[in-house]
Structure 1
């Protein structure tokens, strides 16, 4: 009696004794087993707070009547709020001035480290990156005390040399002082982004450029800069997001410069004071959501422009 021989391919399909659709569904659920923990945490720490903020932004708490549904009234109020727009204009100015300076310095440092002509480049690279390891609160406190005209470094310099250096914590200079703190903290971070991209450029391109007689500035312009356009776009997007989320530095310096930093100095600081000092949770949620949408739209536009340049 002969026994039928099942081909290997057919044995793989039939031998398990499980229908194909059932095994396909089991594989699909197996994938969710891997991403499930991440999705649970993502939903808990991101989706749920965002949904709750959207929900409470549609209500208003009143002394008479309690919490009532007002729809988009909080958003309409925000668009007509002069204090909110003053904060938006301030962080926009901060973005336009501080971000190019910070990214430009980071680019120069990355090119210097990558050139191979810098003595002790490893120590230099670590030294530039170290300020990023300092927490933002500590950095703001440290620089705030150095800025002090009576008790800090600025005051000591004025007394020792008989100078009259303008008060960095004054209303005219405080935004520049905050920009200096942020630049000091994040130059090293952006430098590493640029330097990592520079290290991926094939050595053969440098050798070909050398054979063609290209000078160093030609190599930078025609090889290095085009190769790191994507990294520049990423650093720019991160910087835009950080500028619109400016909070730690003005919040810490507000105690040292109460006349220069108001409760609406930045939109995030304004939302914080509305919520925890003014007990206006619903309006604060609307302000935060509007700023989130602004940031998302601007970052998306920058990303599209970066993709078009790469194309």
Structure 2
């Protein structure tokens, strides 16, 4: 009875939507054979899944998402670990201000952050372009077809470093101070302490942030969708969730969209488990 309210909320907001999505993915709307143009919902098995994975726009969006993820996850985690180690170092001053400054971008809603960066990228109002023109320096088209991917990556990294940094920094603060003092007595400098003592001990936190970052990468939607009015380089099928959105709310094909959602969710689960297992084996040995 004590867990009943939590289980009820879990069922209503997670189990029921998942079951409904699975049910929709196996059905489709077809015109009735009576000739009156009446549409009825019919069971079609895995036809929607075949249609989803054979859609060239969906496949291209998946490839683009993989390239986006290969850039975002390592860069974000690398900077998060670096900042956490720097903030945990005794040589850094103004630690509280630095933590707030690094974490603050995460508190900005994704749409607002994308709009801010979007106007920075726009040629007509970009302060970067204006400063570069004043100095006579060349500036790439941030929203052009060859650089828009990196612009979206920059927005995601800027907004996500703070969250991952806090998790790693919290883990660092929980390490025994005696280990670091003993290392200093043995002649280790701060760089050696960070690399040989701190990093191995906070690997569980790094693994957790890697899983979080991977899941958020596979679910990217707000940043490219918000930039659509600002550039023609981002299509309505730029990433998988945008393709699903198009199918569901533009083409009114919720059945194919449901199948594509299930495929994306399954891929997210498989990749997360694969990354978790790989990182655990590398961090803790083959016996884990």
Q: Same fold (TM over 0.5)?
A: yes
Match of 1:179 in 2: 153
Match of 1:189 in 2: 163
Distance in 2 (CA, whole Å) between partners of 1:289 and 1:167 is 36
Offset, 1:307: 3.0
Match of 1:29 in 2: none
Which of 265, 280, 289 aligns to 2:262? It is: 289
* 1:100-179 alignment runs, 5 A limit: 100-157=74-131, 159-179=133-153
Please report the TM-score for the alignment, with normalisation by the length of structure 1: 0.86
Offset, 1:270: 0.6
Distance in 1 (CA, whole Å) between partners of 2:142 and 2:253 is 32
Please report the TM-score for the alignment, with normalisation by the length of structure 2: 0.93
190-199 vs 78-87, which moves further: 78-87
Please tell me whether residue 57 in structure 1 is matched to residue 36 in structure 2: no
Which of 254, 263, 270 aligns to 2:228? It is: 254
Q: RMSD over aligned Cα, in angstroms? A: 1.4
CA contact (8 A) 2:167 2:205 kept: yes
CA contact (8 A) 1:230 1:306 kept: no
- CA deviations on 1:50-80 (whole Å, 9 max, x unpaired) are 1100001111113445322110011112222
Please tell me whether residue 43 in structure 1 is matched to residue 17 in structure 2: no
Offset, 1:119: 1.4
- Gaps in structure 1 of 5+ consecutive residues: 1-32
Match of 1:16 in 2: none
Match of 1:268 in 2: 241
CA contact (8 A) 2:113 2:155 kept: yes
Offset, 1:154: 4.1
- Residues 1:224 and 1:77: Cα distance change in structure 2 (over 3 Å): same
CA contact (8 A) 2:53 2:260 kept: no
Distance in 2 (CA, whole Å) between partners of 1:252 and 1:160 is 30
Offset, 1:204: 1.0
Distance in 1 (CA, whole Å) between partners of 2:158 and 2:87 is 18
* 1:202-217 alignment runs, 5 A limit: 202-217=176-191
SS at match of 1:126: helix
SS at match of 1:275: helix
Distance in 1 (CA, whole Å) between partners of 2:26 and 2:257 is 11
Question: Larger Rg: 1 or 2?
Answer: 1
SS at match of 2:229: coil
Which of 221, 228, 231 aligns to 2:205? It is: 231
Match of 1:15 in 2: none
Please tell me whether residue 304 in structure 1 is matched to residue 277 in structure 2: yes
* Runs of 4+ deviating beyond 3 Å: 157-164
SS at match of 2:28: strand
Offset, 1:165: 1.2
Offset, 1:212: 1.7
- Residues 1:119 and 1:292: Cα distance change in structure 2 (over 3 Å): same
Please tell me whether residue 74 in structure 1 is matched to residue 74 in structure 2: no
Distance in 1 (CA, whole Å) between partners of 2:278 and 2:74 is 17
72-81 vs 104-113, which moves further: 72-81
